[in-house]
Structure 1
Amino acid sequence: MNTIKVALIGNPNCGKTTLFNAYTGAKHKVGNWPGVTVEKREGLLHHDGNHITLVDLPGIYSISPYSLEEKLTQEYILNYDPDVIVNVVDASNLERNLYLTAQLLEMGKPVVLALTMVDVLEARRITLNTDKLSKALGVDVVPVTALRNLGLKNLLHTVIRRSKAKEVQEPPGIPYGELEEAIAQVESLLPVQEGVEERFRRWIAIKLLEGDGSILQKVETPELKALLEKLAASGVHYEEELAIKKYGHVQEIVPQVLEGDEGREILSDRIDRILTHELLGIPIFLAMMGLVFVFTFTVGNHFAGLMEGFFGFAGSFVTSRFGAWGVAEWMTSLVVDGIIGGVGGILIFLPNIAALFVAMSLMEDSGYMARIALIMDKIMRRFGLSGKAFIPMILGFGCSVPAIMTARTLEDERDRLATIMVTPFMSCSARFPIYVLFSRAFFPGREILVTLTLYVLGILVAVLTALLFKRTLAKGEKGALILELPNYKLPSWKTTGIFVWEKVRGYIVRAGTIIFIASIFLWFILEYNFSGKAEMSASIGASIGKAIAPAFSPMGFGTWEAALALLAGIMGKEIVVSSMAVIYGIGEGSLSAVLSQVGFTPASAYAFMVFALLYTACLATLGVIKKETNSWRWMFFAFGYQLGVAWVVSALIYQVIGLFA
């Protein structure tokens, strides 16, 4: 069987991952905004007797290793030598996309152009002549629409044919004019390497003139180094001049292949004038978040009652059956109070979680999420971060782990560090059951407003922390925001369905594994002490809770039960709710109904939610902080800093509310 290695390369948000998913059957996250793929992914497929390894690389604008994504892509091409590069090109942004194409063609690798977003171009009444584009570039051009499976077979056939072709692609070279002499001088001093084609030697020479240090390390000689230093001292800015020539080459091609009114204003532009307005942008964003919570609570609460009734019935049924069968009392307690109470206590919020992910997916797939970064840019810059840093922070609304990994897309190392430190303050979905539980119990009819204030508070604490970091621990210049705004589009229900199912499935799996185990462990330490079976107030769990409970007294919830639930929540924030269900023995009843009877007031309930919002990230998040910073010191700093901020803000809010209550 013939084996073919294919690399998918293109600009951010050009449709690479959608194409990858369509071919491999994978369900990797796709998004209508840049920066979704932050590391390479591999998939396998078989077609016409060919074994194809498909590699989805991060979106890049250039083959110069200035960012982590560009470095990863360049290293993959050089070290793994793919048989064919599929350059995924967004037809609606042809000029910008072809700049990367020009660089790929200079490398001398076999390239096939996969043209996406042709329908967007047609909506602007612009026609792209693919035959002319193919002739101008000297490569095959295949239009594809991955979501509708259009052009996919044709692209595969073209890739296979190109991988087997004996003739070498000879795309028209970029005329560098007066720079050709310098290119030739550098090329003449390159070490002779067996099997290295002339075109690739030319590309190496161009990269050296651009100042690519990673390439220089591979081919450096004293003579070559001396020549490069001489050329650098000549006063010619080769990197800039070479880029100008490349763009000039692309700008000559684009008018030849596009026909229609390119200057015509499209719907996205008209919508952006309102949604990204300097004064209206923030209020509209808050209104959109409000609508998300209206949808989440309206739809979620309708089904949550059914879930609560089901688990209440399950607890009563098991108690009745076990009693009739003569099952030991401790076993009944374990199953009803521990397992059903703990796992059921978190699964009753599944409808709310699913509704939240539906709403967030629709906002993301429509293209609005990318606008939020632009809206926040001016505010973020005042607090020391680029608006681009807000993209990982927005992802933090789902889960802090992939959000922190997305910080790799930030070019500035100080921005990366600051973003990693502040992202856990964004309210992740695991905290959402806590808000639903307490707002339903203490703020009936005002759940949406209360939840919205928590999300806004998380953002506020994050940007204030960014200001502190950029002025102390991560000093540096504020970079400009260069962000692609994708076109608005109607969300794909298929994409939304996959996204929501993956999140819901993950939630159920966590409930059936981590929360299941945590509930059993918690039940055990609440039933026993070191002498054997004991009253709950004298158990191991109670002793642990009582030891740390005084620290929470200034926040109004200095009980051992609340303290123990928060401690357990470090494993995962949703475990706070399941722990409370186990502690209060809610195997057959409603946890919301119990909370007001165990010492909580509206003021302490709100302070509890604030603490849950801000305190130490879960173990998975701490682990990814260690991985991304490569430092135990920063991980422990994040642990302590988040805990301290949560304590101060929660206590302050409780005390202030107390003054006016």
Structure 2
Amino acid sequence: MTELIVGLAGNPNVGKTTVFNQLTGMRQHVGNWPGKTVERAEGHFSHGGYDYDVVDLPGNYALSAHSMEEIVSRDFIVDDDSDVIVNVVDAANLERNLYLTVQMMELGANLVMALNMNDFAKKKDHIIDIKLMSELLGFPVIEINAKTKDGFEELLTTVEKASKNPIDSSEKLSYGNEIKGHLASIQQLIEQDSSLLDVPSIWTAIKLLEKDSIVIEKVQQSSKSSQIMVEVDKVASHLHDVYQEGAEEVIANARYSFIDGLMAEAVKRPAVEKETTTDKIDRIVTNRILAIPIFIIIMYLLFQLTFTIATPFVDLIDAGFCALGEYLAEAVGNEMLGSFLQDGLIGGVGGVLVFLPQIILMFLFLSILEDSGYLARAAFTLDKIMHSLVGLHGKAFIPMILGFGCGVPAVMATRTMENESDRLLSMMLIPFMSCTARLPIYSIFIAAFFTANQGLILLSIYLLGIVVALIVAGILKRTMFKGLSAPFVMELPTYKVPSVKGVLLHTWDKTKGFLRKAGTIILGAAIVIWILSYLPMGVEYGSQECVLGMIGTAIAPIFAPLGFGTWQAGIAILTGLVAKEVVVSTFATLGGLEEDDEEGVTELVHDAFTPLSAYSFMAFCLLYVPCFASLGAIKQETNSWKWPLTMACITLVTAYIVSLLIYNVGLLAGFG
């Protein structure tokens, strides 16, 4: 079969990932671009005698050099030998989407447009002449429905034809005679050096006028560099004299003029736009008075449903691991090996896997909220608070929202922030967002002390993280990170019913990461914890006399003012630095899973904590130093150990102060 390399490009929220999931199904994997921290999703499938290698490019609005995602996308188009770029476009917001399309045309990409969300366009009374639009753009335009796969067969057939007969659509661009003539003078010089002709000369000329640092650096290596740059300066000066604007603005206006002409020819729209369902919902959901209560209610329902649905499955898995541990301990007939299997492996790893149903449901519900369009509204709602309270714009809250899933991709998401000070501050706040790795910790304490108000207690923990993050942000913004934030415009996607397949794929992808961690980091930590609980030989397993107990006893006084000055709690906090799930693994290993729920882990928790100290402990686990993986991600992003260590100090001090206040104020209020 012939191999086809196809890139999927488009704005955020246009259904690009849904198209990717529909095409590739489970035949996909996620990694990073070589040498970059931008996530790369790649999948494979076969069709019509072709083996497709599909790459889901980062969602972009442009192909400038302002963010790593934009650079990655254009590098793929230029350097990665892609056969076809499928430009997924939102038909209901065509004008905005076409700006990226025009830039890919400048780049000479072999394009096929997949026109998605046509039902939304029809609801707005937008009538698109597909055939005429294709003629004006110079490449095929295919109507599709990403959710139902309507039009996919035609799309793939068209992609296969386009791969055989590539089209340079840059010839269809029309920016007016004034700009065209000046671009031609720069192009003429560029075309005299073959090393600059790996992309259309019009794109290089435009990027030079836009002062694109990467293109300027490339041109400076050319033998014609001095002549080219002199001509660029001359043209930029002339354009400023004519238009009274900088060359970047002139080029942007020319693109929009081309798009306006295209829209006028190929799209009929009503004189007054109809109010959409999204507009009607947003009048309530983003209302300045109702938005916060709605957000809190939705999160409460999410947590309550998570516990209610998951509890029977948790109990079932728990009973299964108990039975397995007892069986293995009896089957091996060796006390030491039996303890290792029952208390170390089954107790440690099983103690975390027991909470897999809750983890899966949390991922599932968050994926539904994200795909429906609500999560963007949550960021928009909290953006207003952040901006007014701490002077940090909403772009900072997007990584924080991602932090509810996992801190590592959340740290990576800060790359999109242009202001370096805001970017670093955002990294400092991400650990205060309660990632799913902490969920098993809350589960054992809520099950032990707060069964009557499970959803409410969990909601309070998540809200505590947000409130503390805002307070810390306010302090840091006025001390370490002074200065104004860059302005930010947030796009709110249209509401839509999430794709079942897309939601399940997202959930499975995130669950795989949890299971991978359980089979590697948590397994390794469980073995180390068991060894330290068993040594020295002859002492009671998991007692205060073992090595682990001695370490815990030494550090326990530090946490006594917080209400949990036991050696078991001290050890759990220490081992939690590896990964937050290991906190549970530690309690499971020390408590054992060979007994029923009234003994084992629950008994250990009941003996070591009161409801007030349990809440104080959960707050400490929420706020203190994140896992090694998150610290490593910050080191990788900042290329320095200064910021991970700074963040570790900030989170540790914050966790101690907050837990100290919770416990002591709680005692004064009579909750002891």
Q: Tell me the TM-score normalised to structure 1 length.
A: 0.92
AA aligned to 1:13 is: N
| Distance in structure 2 (CA, Å) of the matches to 1:619 and 1:196 | 44
- What is aligned with 1:331? 337
- What is aligned with 1:534? 539
Aligned-CA RMSD value: 2.5
- What is aligned with 2:139? 139
- What is aligned with 1:640? 649
How far is the alpha carbon of 1:132 from its aligned partner?
1.5
AA aligned to 2:368 is: L
| Distance in structure 2 (CA, Å) of the matches to 1:491 and 1:109 | 31
AA aligned to 1:60 is: N
- What is aligned with 2:230? 226
AA aligned to 1:405 is: M
- What is aligned with 2:352? 346
Q: 1:202 to 1:356 in 2, by over 3 A?
A: closer
- What is aligned with 2:292? 282
1:137–1:171: 8 Å Cα contact kept in structure 2?
no
Deviations 1:307-344 (A, max 9, x none): 3333334444455x44xx7x122233222222332233
AA aligned to 1:91 is: A
Deviations 1:8-57 (A, max 9, x none): 22111222222233333347699xxxxxx943444444444444433321
How far is the alpha carbon of 1:471 from its aligned partner?
3.0
Deviations 1:270-310 (A, max 9, x none): 00011011111111111111111111121122332333333
Asked whether 1:11 is paired with 2:11, we answer yes
Q: 1:480 to 1:170 in 2, by over 3 A?
A: closer
Q: 1:491 to 1:24 in 2, by over 3 A?
A: closer
Aligned residue pair count: 649
- What is aligned with 2:57? 57
Asked whether 1:414 is paired with 2:421, we answer yes
| Distance in structure 1 (CA, Å) of the matches to 2:130 and 2:278 | 25
How far is the alpha carbon of 1:230 from its aligned partner?
4.0
Deviations 1:233-265 (A, max 9, x none): 554412112211211221122233234547111
Equivalent residues in 2 for 1:198-597, closer than 5 Å: 200-220=200-220, 221-233=225-237, 235=240, 236-259=245-268, 261=270, 263-318=273-328, 321-322=330-331, 327-382=333-388, 383-529=390-536, 532-535=537-540, 536-590=543-597, 591=600, 593-595=602-604, 597=606
Q: 1:195 to 1:232 in 2, by over 3 A?
A: closer
Q: 1:124 to 1:340 in 2, by over 3 A?
A: same
Q: Which runs of 5+ in 1 are unaligned?
A: 31-36
Q: 1:128 to 1:484 in 2, by over 3 A?
A: same
- What is aligned with 2:66? 66
- What is aligned with 1:33? none
Q: 1:127 to 1:569 in 2, by over 3 A?
A: same
1:129–1:257: 8 Å Cα contact kept in structure 2?
yes
Q: What is the percentage of aligned positions where both structures have the same residue?
A: 43
Deviations 1:612-655 (A, max 9, x none): 10111111111111111111121222222222211121112111
| Distance in structure 2 (CA, Å) of the matches to 1:512 and 1:41 | 23
| Distance in structure 1 (CA, Å) of the matches to 2:192 and 2:233 | 21
Q: 1:204 to 1:88 in 2, by over 3 A?
A: same
SS of residue in 2 equivalent to 1:146: coil
SS of residue in 2 equivalent to 1:148: coil
1:441–1:595: 8 Å Cα contact kept in structure 2?
no
How far is the alpha carbon of 1:525 from its aligned partner?
0.9
| Distance in structure 2 (CA, Å) of the matches to 1:659 and 1:577 | 30
AA aligned to 1:300 is: A
AA aligned to 1:544 is: I
Q: 1:493 to 1:46 in 2, by over 3 A?
A: closer
- What is aligned with 2:33? none
SS of residue in 1 equivalent to 2:89: strand
Q: 1:463 to 1:485 in 2, by over 3 A?
A: same
1:268–1:487: 8 Å Cα contact kept in structure 2?
yes
Equivalent residues in 2 for 1:1-40, closer than 5 Å: 2-26=2-26, 38-40=38-40
- What is aligned with 1:103? 103
How far is the alpha carbon of 1:565 from its aligned partner?
1.1
1:24–1:45: 8 Å Cα contact kept in structure 2?
yes
Q: Tell me the TM-score normalised to structure 2 length.
A: 0.90
| Distance in structure 2 (CA, Å) of the matches to 1:602 and 1:92 | 52
| Distance in structure 2 (CA, Å) of the matches to 1:29 and 1:484 | 28
SS of residue in 1 equivalent to 2:452: coil
AA aligned to 2:144 is: V
Q: 1:622 to 1:28 in 2, by over 3 A?
A: farther
How far is the alpha carbon of 1:136 from its aligned partner?
1.6
2:344–2:526: 8 Å Cα contact kept in structure 1?
yes
Q: 1:241 to 1:431 in 2, by over 3 A?
A: same
SS of residue in 1 equivalent to 2:194: coil
How far is the alpha carbon of 1:62 from its aligned partner?
1.3
2:28–2:44: 8 Å Cα contact kept in structure 1?
no
Q: 1:568 to 1:166 in 2, by over 3 A?
A: closer
How far is the alpha carbon of 1:201 from its aligned partner?
1.5
Deviations 1:361-399 (A, max 9, x none): 221121100111111122122313211221111111111
Greater mean alpha carbon deviation, residues 642-651 or residues 105-114: 105-114
Deviations 1:471-508 (A, max 9, x none): 33333321222122111111222222223333334434
| Distance in structure 1 (CA, Å) of the matches to 2:88 and 2:459 | 39
| Distance in structure 1 (CA, Å) of the matches to 2:46 and 2:108 | 26
2:124–2:273: 8 Å Cα contact kept in structure 1?
no
Greater mean alpha carbon deviation, residues 273-282 or residues 205-214: 205-214
Deviations 1:377-422 (A, max 9, x none): 2212231321122111111111111121222222322222221221
SS of residue in 2 equivalent to 1:147: coil
SS of residue in 2 equivalent to 1:538: coil
1:27–1:498: 8 Å Cα contact kept in structure 2?
no
| Distance in structure 2 (CA, Å) of the matches to 1:521 and 1:16 | 44
- What is aligned with 1:657? 666
Greater mean alpha carbon deviation, residues 171-180 or residues 643-652: 171-180
Q: 1:245 to 1:621 in 2, by over 3 A?
A: same
How far is the alpha carbon of 1:147 from its aligned partner?
3.3
2:403–2:410: 8 Å Cα contact kept in structure 1?
yes
Greater mean alpha carbon deviation, residues 520-529 or residues 606-615: 520-529
| Distance in structure 2 (CA, Å) of the matches to 1:163 and 1:314 | 56
SS of residue in 2 equivalent to 1:346: helix
Asked whether 1:175 is paired with 2:175, we answer yes
| Distance in structure 2 (CA, Å) of the matches to 1:641 and 1:229 | 48
- What is aligned with 1:120? 120
How far is the alpha carbon of 1:454 from its aligned partner?
0.9
How far is the alpha carbon of 1:199 from its aligned partner?
8.8
SS of residue in 2 equivalent to 1:533: coil
| Distance in structure 2 (CA, Å) of the matches to 1:477 and 1:420 | 17
1:570–1:616: 8 Å Cα contact kept in structure 2?
yes
